[in-house]
Amino acid sequence: MRSFSKTAWYLLLLISTTTTVKAQTNISLIEQKASAILPKLIEWRRYLHQHPELSNREYKTAEYVAAHLKMLGLEVQTGIAKTGVVAILRGGKPGPVVALRADMDALPVLERADLPFKSTVTAEYLGQTVPVMHACGHDSHVAMLMGTAEVLSAMKKDVPGTVKFIFQPAEEGPPGDEEGGAPLMVKEGVMDNPKVDAIFGLHIEADIEVGKFEYKPGAFMASSDWFTIRVKGKQSHGSQPWKGIDPIVVATEIISGLQTIVSRQTELTKAPVVITVGKFHSGVRPNIMPEEALLEGTIRTLDPKMQQETHERIRKIATGIAATMGATAEVNVDTKTLVTVNDPELTKMMVPSLEAAAGKENVSDRDWVTGAEDFSFYGTKAPAFFFYLGGMPKGTDRKQAPPHHTPDFYIDDSRLDVGVKAFCQLVFDYARLKLGNGKSTTGKRSS
């Protein structure tokens, strides 16, 4: 018994040592290869920045991405969810199916920064000619995922399991009544065939120092709902308001009432809620009291139950206030995204991968975010982990960094290799941890 136990102990030590050495070797190789392609990452990102395309219109971007993926010898599918591109890498070792996602679309924003690769593109959006700009960093997301595909393809024989690269259109929302974005990708089966075991995504941030990661377990980014409230009153001459029912006055009371949902009806110690009316339209002449007023706005919540409760409270307040003033109110709520939830177990398991990519001192957790991401829909199909990568130049005051979706938005692209390192590290580490603790569902390469 003693001899067997001693032998078994040595065997376990040998296995543990071998695994550690292999893990360290992969970290070194990833570091080397990702650093080597940094000039390419910057070139790709700047080309995409100079040639932006709006949601569901990413035709040239998709061609650019697909050409690179085909050159790497990957299995490439195009035309998914209109302009989406998906590529599959089947690794040389057993392991799970891991998906990595980047969004491709730009915004109808006029770029103001004076850059040599500044966008001068215009396009049609809802019947209007608009300027187009990558004002949210999606160009850098595409470049980093292209780079990740190149690094992992070069390491194919050592890659465990299957990697699915998802290049998604219309994260900012499809135009008009079109379908698009992550909901359509999921609907068209992007998380199946092969079935994804875990999915990872990142977003570059203009107010986090370049090369640093931030994340939050559990609810991370808010759901996004858009609402309309159509108030119907009774038209009258502006000199005789008593002969009508003023929908503008009713609508202003509704706007005030909506804020009581946040200030008086919501348990804010549980999770925040934001209600913003961003559009108010009514009337055609100063001397006519109109018949109708239209309010449009957004709702942000970080708890699915609170999301539904907020919808009901908006309907109750709007219709109730209108009724007390002799008017009517029609309320419509359209859910654009769900709450982006980082699976707590997966997050805890994978944070060391970010630390390996950027250094432990450059990785930190953070509070929740009231911005929204349609990455949330992938989390309904598999455990998901979404995190931020900094793109703010060193020495910049975080409070002074131009926000996303604005003309002055700016990203320092000098450390895009850190994002590539993180993605590659997540692929190797997730497989190692899953196989190591016996939770893998296959033990054979997925197909």
Give tens-digit pLDDT for 346-387.
Answer: 999 999 999 999 999 999 999 999 999 999 999 999 999 999
Is the per-residue pLDDT at 273 higher than 50? Answer: yes
Do 306 and 185 fall into the same domain? no
Do 276 and 415 fall into the same domain? no
Are 247 and 232 in contact, with CB atoms under 8 Å apart? yes
Do 94 and 210 fall into the same domain? yes
pTM more than 0.85: yes
Is the per-residue pLDDT at 4 higher than 70? Answer: no
Do 307 and 192 fall into the same domain? no
Indicate which CATH number applies to the domain containing 296: 3.30.70.360
Tokens of 55: 């949601």
Is the per-residue pLDDT at 53 higher than 90? Answer: yes
CA angle at 320 for the pair 333 and 262, rounded to the nearest 5°: 60
Is the per-residue pLDDT at 445 higher than 90? Answer: no
Residues 226-257: pLDDT tens digits? 999 999 999 999 999 999 999 999 999 999 99
Q: Per-residue pLDDT averaged across 389-402, rounded?
A: 97
299, 319, 337 — which closes off a domain? 337
Q: What is the pLDDT of residue 80?
A: 98
Beta-strand ranges (E) seen in 261-409 are 273-282, 288-289, 292-301, 328-337, 340-342, 363-365, 369-372, 384-392
Evaluate whether residue 393 is within a structural domain.
Answer: yes
Average pLDDT, the chain: 93
Q: What is the pLDDT of residue 437?
A: 60
Do 209 and 232 fall into the same domain? no
Residues 260-272: pLDDT tens digits? 999 999 999 999 9
pLDDT band at 444, cuts 50/70/90?
Answer: very low
Do 156 and 235 fall into the same domain? no
Portion of the chain with pLDDT greater than 90, in percent: 91
Q: Per-residue pLDDT averaged across 117-127, rounded?
A: 96
Do 266 and 324 fall into the same domain? yes
Evaluate whether residue 134 is within a structural domain.
Answer: yes
Do 271 and 195 fall into the same domain? no
Do 208 and 227 fall into the same domain? no
Nearest to 37 by CA among 126, 129, 151: 151
Do 254 and 164 fall into the same domain? no
Q: Per-residue pLDDT averaged across 393-414, rounded?
A: 97
Q: What is the pLDDT of residue 446?
A: 36
Compute the distance between CA of residue 266 and CA of residue 306 in angstroms, rounded to an integer: 8
Q: Per-residue pLDDT averaged across 140-166, rounded?
A: 98
**Among 27-31, 136-140, 159-163, the least confident range:** 27-31
337, 357, 387 — which closes off a domain? 337
Evaluate whether residue 18 is within a structural domain.
Answer: no
Q: What is the pLDDT of residue 440?
A: 37
Q: What is the pLDDT of residue 238?
A: 97
- Identify how many contiguous H helices and E strands the chain contains and give both numbers: 9, 18
Q: What is the pLDDT of residue 75?
A: 98
Q: What is the pLDDT of residue 435?
A: 87
Evaluate whether residue 343 is within a structural domain.
Answer: no
Q: What is the pLDDT of residue 6?
A: 59
Evaluate whether residue 356 is within a structural domain.
Answer: no
Q: What is the pLDDT of residue 20?
A: 53
Residues 162-183: pLDDT tens digits? 999 999 999 999 999 999 999 9
Residues 7-21: pLDDT tens digits? 555 554 544 555 555
Evaluate whether residue 397 is within a structural domain.
Answer: yes
**Can you spell out the DSSP letters for 12-44?**
HHHHHHHHHHHHHHHHHHHHHHHHHTHHHHHHH
337, 356, 390 — which closes off a domain? 337
Q: What is the pLDDT of residue 26?
A: 80
What b/e sequence results for 426-439 when a residue is b if at least 16 CB atoms lie within 10 Å of its CB, and e otherwise?
A: bbbbbbbbbbeeee
Is the per-residue pLDDT at 436 higher than 90? Answer: no
- Omega before 194 cis (within 30°)? yes
Do 251 and 301 fall into the same domain? yes
Q: Per-residue pLDDT averaged across 23-46, rounded?
A: 91
Evaluate whether residue 4 is within a structural domain.
Answer: no
Tokens of 153: 């393809």
Compute the distance between CA of residue 282 and CA of residue 289 in angstroms, rounded to an integer: 9
Q: What is the pLDDT of residue 95?
A: 97
283: containing domain? 223-337
Q: Per-residue pLDDT averaged across 204-210, rounded?
A: 98
Evaluate whether residue 354 is within a structural domain.
Answer: no
Indicate which CATH number applies to the domain containing 120: 3.40.630.10
In the chain, the number of structural domains is 2
Do 52 and 97 fall into the same domain? yes
pLDDT band at 5, cuts 50/70/90?
Answer: low
Compute the distance between CA of residue 145 and CA of residue 206 in angstroms, rounded to an integer: 19
Nearest to 411 by CA among 401, 423, 398: 401
